[in-house]
Structure 1
Amino acid sequence: MAHLNKYISLLRNVVKCNGRFLSTRPPPIVKASFLNNPVFVGLSLGVGGTLGYAYYSAINTEPVYNEMGNTQPILKSFPEGITVSRKVRIPEDTTGLKITLFQYPTCPFCCKVRAFLDYYGVSYDIVEVNAVLRQQIRWSSYKKVPILLVQTPNGYQQMNDSSMIVSCLASYLSETNVGVEEVASYFPETEYRDDDGVIKKEIMNRYFLMLNDRMNGRSVKDIMDERKWRKWADQTLVHTLSPNVYRTKEEAFQAFEWFSEVGEWDKHFSSWERWLMVNVGAYAMYFISKRLKKRHNLKDEVRQSLYDECNLWVKTIEARNNGPYFGGQRPNLADLAVYGVLSSIEGCEAFKDLLGKSRIRSWYEKMKTNVTNHLGNEYVKHYANQKAVVG
C-alpha cells in the first residue's frame, strides 16, 4: 500500500474507502452552469426581475436524488423467454464466470466487450438483439447494448455501458478476494439535470480501474494514458465510423448484408425481421450518417477523417517507444478498445480502404492474433485460480 500513497497527490480524483482506492471523479459531461446553480439563479432573479424568473421557471433546477450503494441492477433470475443465440467456450478459461452478452454483432461498443473477453479467454453466451424491434431487451430499463449479465450467488448482476463493463471485469480479474457485485458497486449510475433541466444518467468511474493496492508495476502516468485513449476510442474514433460505413446507399446496403451474414440473422430472426433490419437499417443509417458527419466536424472526404485518426493512433504508439502496442510489449485496455471499435467494420468497404490507405494494418493484424488466440489468458490465471467462488 505504501508504494501507492506517494501517487495520491497526482490522483486527485481518488479516495480511500474500506481499504480500497476509489474514484470520485464527477461525470465528465456534466458542465458547471449558472442555470442549474440555485445561488446564481437567485442572483438572476434579483437583477433580472421578471425575465430572470421566467427563464428559471422554464428550466427545472430541482436537485436529483441519487441512492448510495450498488445502483447496477441485480436480477433475481435470468430474463424469462430469452434464448441464447450461441455460446463461446474457451478451454483456457479458469475464471468460473457465467456471462451473457446482449449485443448487436457489429456494434462497435459490443465488439469492444467481445475483444476484451476473447483476449483474456473468458467464456460467454451471446443473445443477438433485433436492432429494430429490440424485443430481447424489453426486460431491461436500460435500452442500449451491450448489456452484460453475470451470474452471482444473489442472482444476475447487470452491467450497462461497454467501458463500465470492461473496467469492472478488468478490476475483478486483477483481484483475488472481491466479488463481482462489490466491484460493480464502484461504478454507480447517477442522475443529474443538464443545462436545459433535462434529467440525464451517467455511470461514474467508467474508465477507472479499481486496483486496490495492485499497481502491478504500472506507473500512474501509464494508467492515466490508458484511460485517456480509451476515452478517445469512445468519443473520437467511433464517430468516424458511421459516416464512412454508410457513405453511399450502396455501401450502406453492403454493410447491412454483411451485418446479417456475420450475425447469422437468418438463423436468429424471422425472414420478415431480417428484411426489416437490412432495408430499414440501411436507409436510416445512410441519412443519419450525413447528420453525424456534420455533428462531429468530419472532413468532406470522410475517409480522410478515418485515416487521420488511425494514423494518429499509430504515431502515438511509436512515440511511446516501448513496444508494438500502446501497452508496450502486450496490449492494454486502450489497445483492446481501439481494436474492438475498428473490428466492427471489418467486412465493410471502408475497412478495406482503411487497411490500404492508412498505417493501421500492422498493428491491427497483431491485435487480431492476440485476441483470436486469447493470448491475454495467461495474465488472469494467477488471480482466477485463487477465487473460491464467483460472486
Structure 2
Amino acid sequence: MRRVNGIALLGRTAAGIGGATRVSGATPQRLVQAATIGLCSNSNPLWFNRQSSGDRFGLSKPSVAAGGAKCFSTSVAQEVHSHVSADKFAPNDVVLYQYEACPFCNKVRAFLDYNNIPYKVMEVNPMSKKEIKWSDYKKVPILKVDDEQMVDSSDIIDKLFQRINPENSFVDSEEEKKWRQWVDDHLVHVLSPNIYRTPSEALESFDYITSHGNFSLSERLVAKYGGAAAMYFVSKKLKKRHNITDARAALYGAAETWVDALKGRQFLGGSTPNLADLAVFGVLRPIRHLKSGKEMVENTRIGEWYSRMEGAVGESARVNA
C-alpha cells in the first residue's frame, strides 16, 4: 500500500512539482529529481539546479549502431587512442562519485577513459547521498584524486588536463571554448524533452535510470513509474522554457550543428578529439541507445563522428573498487 501511495504522490507531483509528503524518507519531488539526475552539478533549474557555466546520461560503451554510423576499425581506433597516456599523471587513487545516468558525470568519465586514467566509481544513492556525506558539496560529479576533492565537470576536466599536460598553460582555443560552452548552454537542454517526449519514451528512460542507479527495490518501483509520469509532464515545461516547439527537430538540429562545426574534420580537434569532442560525446552517450538516440543517428549525419569517438575513447578505464 505504501508503494501505491508513493506512485500516486509522484503523479500529483508531476502536475504541481511541489509538496513535502515523504516517500521512503524522501519527498516525491526529490525522488523525481534524484531519479532524473536532478542533483548533477551545473544543471539548469529543471535540468537541474544550474550553478555556473553548465554541466549527465551515460551508457557503457555501446557498439556502433546502424543507420549511418560506419564501423571504426580496431587498428585505426588503437592508432588514434595510442597517443594519450596518463604517464605524466599517475595518481594512486581516483574515485568518481556519480549517478550512472548523469550527463556531466559522463563528461568526466569520457575524459578519464580517453586519457587512460584508471578510476573507481562510487554510485551515489540519490535519496540518502550517504556516499558523499563526507563532502560539503552535495552534487555530482565529485572526483577525489588522492584525497583531493574536485567538483564541477568542466573544472574537473580543466584541472586534470593541466596535470596531464603540465607544460601547457592550457588556454582553450576560441573554437574549443565556444563549443564546450555550447554543450552546457544548449545541447543538454534538448535532451530532456526528447527522452521524456512520450509516455513510452519516458518509461524507457526510467527503466535505464533505475536499472543503473543506486535505488532500493521500493525506490526503483516508485521512480520508474511515478518518475516517468512526472518527467513526461515536466518535459513539456522544459520545452516551453527553452523555446522548443519540436523536440526531435531540436535534437536533430543540434546534431547537424555539431557536424557542421567539424568542417569536414574527423574531430573538432582535427585528427584527434579535443575537449569539446569529449564533452559532446559524454553528454550524448546516455541517449545513444534510447529511442531518441537511435533516431538521431538515423536522421542526421552525426553517426560517423560518434563512431570515430567510440574508437578514439577506447575501452573504459574504470576499475573495480
Bucket of the pairwise TM-score, normalised by the shorter protein: 0.5 to 0.7
Q: Structure 1 residues 139 and 279 mapped into 2: Cα distance closer, same or farther (>3 Å)? A: farther
Counterpart amino acid of residue 174 in structure 1: N
Q: Report what 1:272 is aligned to.
A: 218
Mapped pair 1:126 → 2:71 = no
Whole-angstrom CA distance in 2 between matches of 1:354 and 1:373: 24
Whole-angstrom CA distance in 1 between matches of 2:225 and 2:289: 18
Mapped pair 1:288 → 2:234 = yes
Taking CA–CA contacts closer than 8 Å with sequence separation of 6 or more, which of the two structures ends up with the larger relative contact order? 2
Mapped pair 1:249 → 2:194 = no
- Say if 1:258 and 1:347, in contact at 8 Å, map to a contact too: no
Counterpart amino acid of residue 327 in structure 1: G
Paired residues, number: 231
Match for residue 175 of structure 2 among 222, 225, 235:
225
- Say if 2:86 and 2:164, in contact at 8 Å, map to a contact too: no
What SS class does the counterpart of residue 110 from structure 2 fall into?
helix
Whole-angstrom CA distance in 2 between matches of 1:281 and 1:110: 21
What SS class does the counterpart of residue 143 from structure 2 fall into?
strand
Q: Structure 1 residues 294 and 133 mapped into 2: Cα distance closer, same or farther (>3 Å)? A: farther
Whole-angstrom CA distance in 2 between matches of 1:373 and 1:328: 21
What SS class does the counterpart of residue 122 from structure 2 fall into?
strand
With normalisation by structure 2, the TM-score equals 0.67
Q: Structure 1 residues 163 and 373 mapped into 2: Cα distance closer, same or farther (>3 Å)? A: same
Q: Deviations over 1:305-355 (max 9, x none)?
A: 01001101101102xx5x310000000000000000111212311101101
Q: Report what 1:160 is aligned to.
A: 151
Cα deviation for residue 132 of structure 1 reads 4.0
With normalisation by structure 1, the TM-score equals 0.56
Q: Deviations over 1:5-26 (max 9, x none)?
A: xxxxxxxxxxxxxxxxxxxxxx
Q: CA RMSD in A?
A: 2.1
Whole-angstrom CA distance in 1 between matches of 2:240 and 2:118: 40
Q: Report what 1:237 is aligned to.
A: 187
Mapped pair 1:309 → 2:300 = no
Cα deviation for residue 260 of structure 1 reads 3.2
- Say if 1:307 and 1:354, in contact at 8 Å, map to a contact too: yes
Q: Report what 2:135 is aligned to.
A: 140
Whole-angstrom CA distance in 2 between matches of 1:111 and 1:104: 9
Unaligned 5+ segments in structure 2 are: 1-84
Whole-angstrom CA distance in 2 between matches of 1:93 and 1:275: 41
- The structure having more radius of gyration, on CA atoms, is 1
Greater per-residue helix proportion? 2
Q: Report what 1:23 is aligned to.
A: none
What SS class does the counterpart of residue 252 from structure 2 fall into?
helix
Q: Deviations over 1:275-315 (max 9, x none)?
A: 233234323322221111111111x2210001001101101
What SS class does the counterpart of residue 131 from structure 2 fall into?
helix
Alignment of 1:8-47 (within 5 A): none
Unaligned 5+ segments in structure 1 are: 1-91, 177-210, 376-391
Q: Report what 1:354 is aligned to.
A: 296
Whole-angstrom CA distance in 2 between matches of 1:140 and 1:279: 31
Whole-angstrom CA distance in 1 between matches of 2:134 and 2:222: 22
Q: Report what 1:27 is aligned to.
A: none
Cα deviation for residue 93 of structure 1 reads 5.1
Q: Deviations over 1:202-253 (max 9, x none)?
A: xxxxxxxxx33xx7xxxx7x71211111010111011000000011121111
Q: Report what 2:34 is aligned to.
A: none
- Say if 1:116 and 1:166, in contact at 8 Å, map to a contact too: yes
Q: Report what 2:90 is aligned to.
A: 96
